[in-house]
Structure 1
Amino acid sequence: MKLNKRSISSLFLLFLFFAYGCDQASKTSPESIPLETLQNAHEQFLEGAITHRRFKHEDLQPLIQKHSDAFEIAVLGNSVEGRSISSLDWGQGETKVMLWSQMHGNESTATMALFDLFNFLKASGDEFDPIRQTLMENLKIKFIPMINPDGAEAFKRRNALDIDLNRDAISQISPEAVILKGARDSFEPEFGFNLHDQQIYYNVENTPKQATISVLAPGYNYERDINEVRGRAMKTIVGMNEVLQQLIPGQVGKYDDGFEPRAFGDNIQKWGTSTILIESGGYNGDPEKQYIRKLNFMIILNALHQIAKKGYEAYTVDQYFEIPDNGFQLMDLILQEVQVPVEGSLYPVDIAIRRRESNAGPTYSVTGNVEDLGDMQVYFGLEELDATGLKFTEGKVYEQAFESVDEITVDKTMELLRSGYIAVKVKNGQAGDLHQLPIVVLQSTDKFSFGWKTGSNPTFFLSDGNTLRYAVVNGYLIDLENPKDQLIKQRVY
């Protein structure tokens, strides 16, 4: 087996993080809910009406109202475009906890988990009753499941004013920001959960491990001081990490704690609420984040139980700092040592590719982009290919137009690719329509821009001089000899 530039150091780091994960998994707080119980709870109370991460405000309203018999539901106000922002209150205890989700409209993973949690808290008469009773008697919980409904409508980060709500905690320009701060000020929670999604390209620093969940007890000043309020958040996070290391060992990162004076998490910590940030990243084979949804449910439920029982007091701030930091070193695909032609000579370069999502009606498409090239040894690919000896080769557009995308089979696509055609034309359909074929489909143009340089769409072949070995189509790698099933989400050009 050939070892590339970083193989030895990567293997050593993986060993260290595996050992860290095993060590953490062996530690169990007396106030932790058993892992099997958490898993069974999610399986039984999964909200079946939500099956993917792109849902809208209107989809949640009947799900909120179905809990009106068990939760105190209130409309806190309306968004810029007039959509309601609701809270659901539950519990009779003295310790107040507030959880808010989807401050950024396209960060919906935790929102799904909250609706699973609503189902759990509403139920009764089963083996989970002791957990519910502990929470009911000790906690009063306020949930705000969608702070930015206008952003969710378009599945974008910012609100209808194009403002990032997480930079509006002080100026309070947006009505949504006014609502969130007002809820915090009137409720005065002791604990707060700030629920977000992060890019899938975050890793556990200097390892190829994807940061599936990242955590943070935000700083409340530039000095990053630790007072009792922030310390409680740190200790609670240690308990969450204890659960996660049993499920995704080595895939938990600690988010950067640099103070951001405009951010809600930092300021809510400053205002006296022990604030816990959960960032949902990526997990292999989980594009709709349904497994990460489960992880959110499990760590939130366990954290609420530990807060109710003050189990977080068993942990230390030092344990929080043992959680490794996040990195931003992941790429969707890294092609190592590709021979690229320049001025009649060939140069071996690593090509690092990311695939970005773009909204396309009710779903999304993917657009590949060459992020960087040269020596990419400091990055890790979710998929990597040692392309030593393989040469960049341009593809052709098939001359004969098909009637529609539906006429093109996967077998026909592979036949065309093996013959050097990387794009096809169709007569019918609309530019922007989605398809799942591993080839470029053209409707409004006869040409397609591609290349290997930074900023280019990575669409080309890799050949060994005589034979086409691989196709790279919009950033997806296709082995022409042994193609595999891939979730390809392209648009018609």
Structure 2
Amino acid sequence: MKVTSKNLFSPFLLFLFLLIGCKTADENSFEPLSVAELAKAQEMYKEAGIKNRRFKHADLQPLIQKHSDAFAIEVLGESVEGRSISSLDWGSGQTRVMLWSQMHGNESTATMSLFDLFNFLKANGDEYDELRNLLEENLSIKFIPLINPDGAEQFKRRNALDIDLNRDAISQISPEAVILKKARDSFEPEFGFNLHDQQIYYNVGNTPKQATISVLAPAYNEAREINEVRRRAMQTIVGMNEVLQQVIPGQVGQYDDSFEPRAFGDNIQKWGTSTILIESGGYLGDPDKQYIRQLNFMIILNALYQIATGGYLQYTEEEYFEIPDNGFQLVDLIIHELQVPMGETFYPVDLAIRRRDASTGDSYYERGTVDDLGDMQVYFGMQEIDATGHQWKKGEVFPREFENVSAINEAEALELLRQGYLAVKVKNFEAGELHQLPILVLGERESFDSGWQTGSNPNFFLEKDGKNAFAVVNGYLINLNEPSEQTFMQRVY
């Protein structure tokens, strides 16, 4: 048989391919960081310029510019009110990944994490260099840390047009939506991370565990079918959940995957980018979401490693569907079997109370509301009390006025509560002035709501055997015999 050059070249190509393949496998033999190493990395590179989750466009600009030596920074356009929207690009690899955050102006947890990640990727000369090199060689990453700067300015969900940007992927009425769509189309990422916050009242399945992180591979059609694009997102999420279960076991939920034809996540999945939604919820003792900030850093960095190495392929869609669904059954406080008056008769009811943030200037306070009452057995309270044998009792306003808020301290406030006073009045205060006293503080002409019905601001006593045993102040429960340490976030009414 005649031996041709083609016959000789084929085995050589096969040998060369195997040789290259072995080299790549060796290069990618770097093991993923442990949970402890991921947490340590975030602590080392946490952005000191962001100390809480309420920041504005102007606060981020110097933090963006300080990375101009390591990232390619581009102004993609401007918001309705003329604030710049920037991207930061890093890496030279073939696999493209895009991450965008704060599409809703008051959903800033992941934004904080991205700036921690910028510091991490820029650094060198430590034990993480091997990981950085692997990511840099295999990935090209585009970060858009603040899509809705006008919303962030007022710490509100919607943009300056009062449009929900996550319902503007098709019509693209808002310039911010145009910018995000153009960025995706021009960059054509294979993977996308859609970074949000969810209400703290989501729980995992039918359990009292708070959904600290919820995840989703969004549907790309009404039938919620699974193609290869969506499957890759599912597989990546399973790897993220593997990390989270080591630090917040049982506190990861799956967000509702009903198809929303106007949403960016659903459509970016539809347009061919494997899209991963991360929703940052709540964690007890972490009102400013600094621990959840760390969790975001950990799972995003781990996911980037899985994408760079193809490690996500080890996971299955069946494992994704094992992540339990979100519930919405959490409330801040449940008071069980409280006797409430209707005319001359008392009825035993459960009260479900939630305390929601309200902005004032550059800060915020909480306002309690009776969300529901009656039989609340399907709800879970982050705090619960069996009030069997206790009756609702109206509180009074202390008759003597104080000069200002600083004229009363916590110990005095607690003593006034024991005497049956739920509120004090002050002569001088600034509009929107905040305080952390365990009592209502009123202006000279103000009054307070003492109701127990739905929609009421809950302020009342729980009386037993003729004595005030507990006080409920703006939805906070206070044991008058053994008051615990609490952080009260209130304003002068």
TM-score range, shorter chain: over 0.9
Q: Tell me the residue number matched to 2:348.
A: 348
- For the 8 Å contact 1:31–1:306, the answer to whether it is kept is no
> What are the residue-to-residue correspondences of 1:314-333 with 2, within 5 Å?
314-333=314-333
User: How far apart are residue 432 of structure 1 and its match?
Assistant: 2.2
- For the 8 Å contact 1:235–1:312, the answer to whether it is kept is yes
Q: Tell me the residue number matched to 2:425.
A: 425
1:153 is aligned to 2:149: no
SS at match of 2:350: strand
> What are the residue-to-residue correspondences of 1:367-378 with 2, within 5 Å?
367-378=367-378
Deviations 1:117-146 (A, max 9, x none): 000000011110110011001000000000
Give the distance between the partners of 1:30 and 1:47, measured in 2 at CA. 27
> What are the residue-to-residue correspondences of 1:11-410 with 2, within 5 Å?
32-410=32-410
SS at match of 1:355: strand
SS at match of 2:457: coil
Give the distance between the partners of 2:137 and 2:431, measured in 1 at CA. 57
Alignment gaps of 5+ in structure 2: 1-28
Give the distance between the partners of 1:220 and 1:51, measured in 2 at CA. 37
Give the distance between the partners of 2:30 and 2:479, measured in 1 at CA. 50
Q: Tell me the residue number matched to 1:20.
A: none
SS at match of 1:472: strand
Deviations 1:4-46 (A, max 9, x none): xxxxxxxxxxxxxxxxxxxxxxxxx995321121111111111
User: How far apart are residue 445 of structure 1 and its match?
Assistant: 2.1
User: How far apart are residue 100 of structure 1 and its match?
Assistant: 0.1
The 10-residue stretch of structure 1 (483-492 or 288-297) with the greater mean CA deviation from structure 2: 483-492
Aligned positions, number: 465
The 10-residue stretch of structure 1 (472-481 or 442-451) with the greater mean CA deviation from structure 2: 442-451
Q: Tell me the residue number matched to 1:489.
A: 489
- For the 8 Å contact 1:253–1:326, the answer to whether it is kept is yes
- For the 8 Å contact 2:358–2:364, the answer to whether it is kept is yes
SS at match of 2:293: helix
Give the distance between the partners of 1:434 and 1:273, measured in 2 at CA. 45
1:40 counterpart letter in structure 2:
K
Give the distance between the partners of 1:447 and 1:145, measured in 2 at CA. 43
Q: TM-score, normalised by structure 2?
A: 0.93
Give the distance between the partners of 1:398 and 1:64, measured in 2 at CA. 51
**Which runs of 4 or more aligned residues in structure 1 lie more than 6 Å from their structure 2 counterparts after TM superposition?**
none
- For the 8 Å contact 1:431–1:444, the answer to whether it is kept is no
Deviations 1:55-101 (A, max 9, x none): 00000000000000000000000000000000000000000000000
Alignment gaps of 5+ in structure 1: 1-28
- For the 8 Å contact 1:30–1:311, the answer to whether it is kept is no
Give the distance between the partners of 2:121 and 2:30, measured in 1 at CA. 22
Please, what is the CA RMSD of the aligned residues? Answer: 1.0
Deviations 1:433-487 (A, max 9, x none): 1111111111052421221000101000001031100000000011101111211
Identity of aligned residues (%): 72
Deviations 1:237-288 (A, max 9, x none): 0000000000000000000000000000000000000000000000000011
Structure having the higher Rg: 2
1:213 counterpart letter in structure 2:
I
SS at match of 1:70: coil
- For the 8 Å contact 2:337–2:348, the answer to whether it is kept is yes
Give the distance between the partners of 1:386 and 1:161, measured in 2 at CA. 46
Give the distance between the partners of 2:154 and 2:248, measured in 1 at CA. 31
